[in-house]
Amino acid sequence: MKKLIILFSCFLVFAGTVSAQKNDTLTRAKVKNRMSKLDSTKRENLKEKGITENSMKELDLSKDQFNQIEGFRKSAKEEKEKIKNDNTLTEAQKEEKIKAVDENFRKKSGSVMTKEQRSKVEKKRSELKGKKKDSQGAKPQ
């Protein structure tokens, strides 16, 4: 009887572990599916901005949110290309206009997100700024 109880307990622990992993796997699969639909250039651009598979998973954007933000991103990218190709502007003017486009993108995408999602993005952005300062401040040996 003791062996049956022990065997049954082990089975319950095993089943609980498998179930927990299955839920995590489903979430990962959903994020990978979204990210796999992006081409490599988009994926690299998003990575530079701190938007990776993991951060997309952390934000848990709905399809509607994802599509709206993707539209904002495409629009911003087109505007940036026009600015970069505009030969009438100086480099300083180009940088200023690109910063304005980036800020506009942040505002638009922030308006689509929930307060919690926005705070996660801000936290990630500040972490990236900290890492960037650390790497710039480090002297090569």
Question: Which residue pairs from 40-47 have beta carbons closer than 8 angstroms and sit at least 24 positions apart in sequence?
Answer: 45/77
pLDDT digits (tens, 9 = 90+) for 17-35: 666 555 555 666 776 666 6
Angle at 111 between CA 106 and CA 116, to 5 degrees: 95
| 43 vs 29: which has the higher pLDDT | 29
Instruction: Provide the pLDDT for residue 100.
Output: 93
pLDDT tens-place string over residues 110-125: 899 888 888 888 888 7
Which token pair is 32?
């990978």
| Per-chain mean pLDDT for the chain | 76
Q: Quick one: which of 117, 135, 5, 136 has its CA closest to 69?
A: 117
